[in-house]
Amino acid sequence: MATSRSDGRLSLGELVSCLILWAAVAYGQSKNSCLDCHSNLPEPLGVSQEKFSQDIHAQKGLTCASCHGGDPTSDDPDKAMSRKAGWKGKIDRKQIPQLCGTCHSDAAYIREFNPSLRTDQLSQYGTSVHGKRLAAGDTKVAVCTDCHGVHDLREPNDSRSTVNPVNVANTCARCHADASYMSEYKIPTNQFAEYGKSVHHDALVVRGDLGAPTCPTCHGNHGATPPGFASVANVCSTCHVFQAQLFDSSSHREAFASAGLPGCVTCHSNHGILHPTDDLIGTDDKAVCTQCHTEGDTGFAAAGKMKQHLVQLATSIDNADQILGRAERSGMEVSQAQLDLAQTRDTLTKARVTVHSFNVARMESDIKPGLEAAGKDYDAGNRAMAERNYRRVGLGASLVAIALVLVGLRLYLKRIEG
């Protein structure tokens, strides 16, 4: 029965044998004896099957042996963890970037899994403060696994990833907010606390804007380093383009440089950047202008003028908003005027940006059309309220007329019914 056929087709027996052989080979290839033991070991040697299955590498088909070497197909621990089989054991911290770079710097290999993934992480790391200090023998600095995790490493766009935009500040803070850990580096450890109060943190965590800046946005990720004195403005300008252009063309650029002041952060701070208000400008105690300008100088007068313009426009917009709100609550149709007011608010935003030119005349060119538009919006609200009053007077007159007719009808009925 089970003989090879001359027509080239397999007999049933041959087919079963082939399937058993294929299953045995496949079993041997997929077998990962490491987890058989390590899933039962306590931390730090323990790695459960469940934990490892969450790892992006495991999901892409890599095994323990891909990083640690050895023979995962063998049930014998001595064979599985033999140097002969290439077993490396626990990876030395100094070697971790190089080990990760084995694959992550290989563009051809990475392309097989994710063609859009960059492959310059290792070279970037070499330029970072972390990388330089590691090369100098400091093993306390962050290596790949400190930020990305190990054995349950997730893609950055996974919300559970330690390097997801929402989580990465916490990851950095694990070291940078630990005063005792950072004591030997003589750098502040309040960055995370300050960032937590900032407008950027509010945008990212409270409003859920994943484009809002977090630590790596300004410092870089693999090439993390504090922005240099001269490059702070460049960092901010990647998002705040107009403000940076206006500042660069203003007289403050030279003045700040000669006074040794670092651009944007001089007025706005760095990690704890609060939501800017009009109080930042002007001549009172809260205004940052008074840190340099004193009464009598032209900058002091200009700061006062600019504050006055901003307050005037903001007040006009508020007044228009209030009267339109009252008209709307009275049932008047003012949606077009409210739409116009939203555009007027844009002129206030534009004027607040123009502050960075520190040029009063330039700012006035934004304020003037804004004031005119706010005036029109206020007039629209006033007209709506006048119309509301006109309607109510008309209603009163109509009700009086109706009441008179009712009285007349009642009297007539009384007369005819005697």
Partner 1 sequence: MSLRRSLRSWLDERFGWDALIAPLRKKTVPLHRFSYWYFLGGITLFLFIIQVFTGILLLLYYRPGASEAFESVQYIITRVQFGWLIRSIHSWSANLMIFTAFAHMFSVLFFKAYRKPRELTWVSGVILLFLVMGFGFSGYLLPWNTLAFFATKVGTEITGQVPVVGRPLMIFLRGGEEVTGATLMRFFGFHVAVLPGLATFLILVHVLLVQRLGISVPPKLEAEWEANPSQKREMKFFPNFMLRELMAWYVALGVLGALAAIFPWNLGVKADPFVSAPAGMKPEWYFLFMFQTLKLIPPKVWFIDGEVLGVVVFGLIALLWLFLPFFGRNHPSRSKQWITAIGIFALAYMAGMTIYGHFAQ
Residues interacting with partner 1, by CB under 8 A? 331-333, 335-336, 391-392, 394-395, 398-399, 402-403, 405-406, 409-410, 412-413, 416-417
* Per-position DSSP letters for 339-407, written without gaps between them: HHHHHHHHHHHHHHHHGGGT-HHHHHHHHHHHHHHHHHHHHHHHHHHHHHHHHHHHHHHHHHHHHHHHH
Q: How far is the CB of 332 from partner 1 (least distance, A)?
A: 7
What does the alpha-carbon distance between residue 198 and residue 228 come to, in Å, rounded to a whole number? 21
Placement of tokens 């504050």 in the chain: 307
Q: Cβ of residue 394: shortest distance to partner 1, in angstroms?
A: 7
Min separation Cβ 109 and partner 1, Å: 43
Residue 127: CB minimum distance to partner 1, A: 47
Residues in the chain: 418
- Min dist CB 85 to partner 1, Å, is 57
CB of 323 to partner 1, least distance (A): 17
Nearer to partner 1, 2 or 403 (CB): 403
**Residue from 298, 263, 306 nearest 282 by CA:** 306
Nearer to partner 1, 334 or 367 (CB): 334
Q: What distance in Å separates the CA atoms of residue 375 and residue 352, rounded to the nearest whole number?
A: 19
Specify the residue, 61 or 331, whose C-beta has the smaller distance to partner 1: 331
Provide the minimum distance between the beta carbon of 418 and partner 1 in the complex, in angstroms, as a whole number. 12
- C-alpha triplet 67, 68, 69: angle, nearest 5°: 100
**Measuring CA to CA, which residue among 265, 272, 222, 223 is closest to residue 244?**
265
Q: Which is nearer to partner 1, 21 or 409 (CB)?
A: 409
CA distance 268 to 261: 12
- Residue bearing tokens 């440089």: 257
Q: How far is the CB of 282 from partner 1 (least distance, A)?
A: 39
Q: Which is nearer to partner 1, 169 or 332 (CB)?
A: 332
State residue 87 phi and psi, 5-degree precision.
-70, 130
Taking the C-alpha atoms of residue 199 and residue 192, their distance in angstroms, rounded to an integer, is 13
Instruction: Give 206 or 413: the residue with its C-beta nearer to partner 1.
Output: 413
Closest to partner 1 by CB, 26 or 405 = 405
Nearest C-alpha neighbor of 255 from the set 305, 296, 291, 286: 291
Question: Phi-psi bin for 183: left (phi > 0), alpha (psi -120 to 50), beta?
Answer: alpha
Cβ distance to partner 1 smaller for residue 77 or 396 = 396
Structure tokens at 342: 């939203």
First-to-final CA distance of the chain:
125
User: Judged by CB, which is closer to partner 1: 90, or 415?
Assistant: 415
Rg of the chain, C-alpha, whole Å: 36
**Of residues 369, 359, 121, 92, the one with CA closest to residue 251:** 359
CB of 327 to partner 1, least distance (A): 11
CB of 386 to partner 1, least distance (A): 14
Q: Which of residues 1 and 416 has its CB atom nearest to partner 1 in the complex?
A: 416
State CA 326 to chain mean position distance: 37
Cα distance between residue 44 and residue 150, in whole Å: 11
CB of 296 to partner 1, least distance (A): 54
The residue behind tokens 């930042």 is 280
With respect to partner 1, which residue has the nearer C-beta, 1 or 413? 413
